[in-house]
Structure 1
Amino acid sequence: MSIKYQIWFTWNAEREKIRLPVLPEKFSIKNGSNNQSIDLTGLGEITIMQSRPALQFSFSSFFPAGYFPGIKSIIAVPPILYIRMIERWKKSKVPIHFISTGNYINLYCTIESFNYSESGGDVGTFSYDITLKEYREVSLKAVSVDSSLIATVQNTTARVDNTSTPKTYTVKKGDCLYNIAKSVYGDGAKYSSIYTANKSMIGSNPNLIRPGQVLKIP
């Protein structure tokens, strides 16, 4: 793939994002058909055209433990954090925003499968393969009937909302915001997001959280 390509995953209305540090060598797009063929007496086989199925994207790459000339993202992120973030997105049942600049892909997808491994010869580097499927919101058609009893069908375009529903966390003895952020986001440095969402309850000092407090996790 061209070195000018960029591949991004974003989630929760762009609040979390990943630029893949190493582009895949092969990128597979499955674009099938739901058309049906039937045989009619005197006409033979005819095809009934249907709406196409969802696009499916598959590729493999790796999250490197260290810098090398083929890396495309200058942001140094431990590979395990990429793994934990994608796992969490997959479990959330909220679609991700998938962008591949070289393929002109810009759409929402579900993470259908995500498999990864770490080999002994390169500890800390994770190889992975991932399959994404195009996500479409269910759109309803409104039917209106005028005074002359003529029905008009109006198509409505549904906008994809990939905002994650806020979750909560109950503070336990020994907890701190940094460790909570590391647990839920995979990145302790995001503790400020939790503090901002709960500042009215925590107060001016983010270190003063108490067991039993129920924190909103944005």
Structure 2
Amino acid sequence: MASFMSFIRKVLSSTGSGGLNQGCTFVISCDGEQVRLPVPPSSYEVENPYNNATVRVNNIGDINMIGTPGLKTLKFSSLFPAQQYSFVDGQADDPWSYVKKIETFATKRKPCRLTISGTNISLACTIESFPYQEKDGTSDIYYTLNLKEYRYITPEAEQINDITGLNGRVAEIPEKREFNIYPGDSPMDIAARAVGQFSKIEQQGPQRLTLYKQLAKKNLKAGDVVKATRGIVSLNGKRFTL
């Protein structure tokens, strides 16, 4: 019970100056479905690897080689409550239903997205691990989510292996994509998601900026559906070109 009360204090502290913004929500979505976490974590941790390396050169010594950015990782811990505590965000479902849904997301073989309102976190990701346990006799389920950034890549062209003669593995490029705007999504978040799967890497930056300038003038609401194809994005009956 002592550990449980300690956790409660941490959760409640997230509404103060030492934690996340008051009213902050965590939403995990995958393939058109979403889970809103009933107890927002009191904190999260993001790691940005940059893959720098130290190389030793004769007669010079060690030199630092600047690498390329690696995949971000993000982790946090919270609980799925079995009772309707006062700190629960909305009406919570059965705790095992949350476990089943997240395990389904992890095995869909499709990227997920984590959105944290009041922050700039809107991360396409994969679920790397999802340990959970019951530990205090309340039937609450305590868990940790470990996520890793997912990068959408559009290949320049199909590559043929010189030795095997087989096509190289390339990213699957969908013809169209639909997604919902979630609480906390900024126009730039939406623009990044809309162009990420349809454009070459060097084109994505300018196209995101072009779409951002158009979306920034519109009244965007959580729940709106964005429809994206190559070169065209539709929202609330309006068409935007990239």
TM over 0.5: yes
> 1:37 & 1:20 partners in 2: Cα distance?
42
| Cα displacement (A) at 1:90 | 0.7
Structure-2 change in CA distance of 1:47 and 1:139 (3 Å): farther
Equivalent residue number for residue 96 of structure 2:
80
| Cα displacement (A) at 1:134 | 0.4
Is the 2:27–2:37 contact (alpha carbons within 8 Å) kept by the matching residues of 1?
yes
> 1:104 & 1:27 partners in 2: Cα distance?
13
Q: Deviations over 1:116-144 (max 9, x none)?
A: 11246202x211111000001234346xx
Structure-2 change in CA distance of 1:3 and 1:154 (3 Å): closer
> 1:43 & 1:141 partners in 2: Cα distance?
39
| Cα displacement (A) at 1:28 | 1.4
1:41-52 counterparts in 2 under 5 A? 41-52=58-69
> 1:134 & 1:108 partners in 2: Cα distance?
6
Tell which deviates more after alignment, 82-91 or 34-43. Answer: 34-43
Equivalent residue number for residue 43 of structure 2:
26
> 1:76 & 1:154 partners in 2: Cα distance?
40
Instruction: Give the alignment's TM-score, normalised by structure 1.
Output: 0.59
Question: Relative contact order: is structure 1 or structure 2 higher (C-alpha 8 Å, sep ≥ 6)?
Answer: 1
Question: Which of 98, 102, 105 pairs up with 1:89?
Answer: 105
Is the 1:96–1:108 contact (alpha carbons within 8 Å) kept by the matching residues of 2?
yes
Equivalent residue number for residue 117 of structure 1:
133
Matched, 1:71 2:118: no
Unaligned runs of 5+ in 2: 1-19, 158-199, 206-242
Tell which deviates more after alignment, 28-37 or 106-115. Answer: 28-37
Q: Deviations over 1:139-180 (max 9, x none)?
A: 4346xxxxxxxxxx983549xxxxxxxxxxxxxxxxxxxxxx
Matched, 1:35 2:35: no
Give identity over the alignment, percent: 29
| Cα displacement (A) at 1:51 | 1.4
Q: Deviations over 1:48-103 (max 9, x none)?
A: 2221111101111001112222112x143211111100011111121111111243
Structure-2 change in CA distance of 1:139 and 1:41 (3 Å): farther
Is the 1:116–1:128 contact (alpha carbons within 8 Å) kept by the matching residues of 2?
yes
Cα RMSD, aligned residues only = 2.4
Tell which deviates more after alignment, 38-47 or 19-28. Answer: 38-47
Equivalent residue number for residue 6 of structure 1:
25
Is the 1:141–1:155 contact (alpha carbons within 8 Å) kept by the matching residues of 2?
no
> 2:83 & 2:124 partners in 1: Cα distance?
30
The structure with the larger Rg is: 1
Task: Please state which structure has a larger fraction of its residues in strand.
Answer: 1
Unaligned runs of 5+ in 1: 143-152, 159-218
> 1:139 & 1:34 partners in 2: Cα distance?
23
Misfit runs of 4+, over 4 Å: none
> 1:18 & 1:84 partners in 2: Cα distance?
11
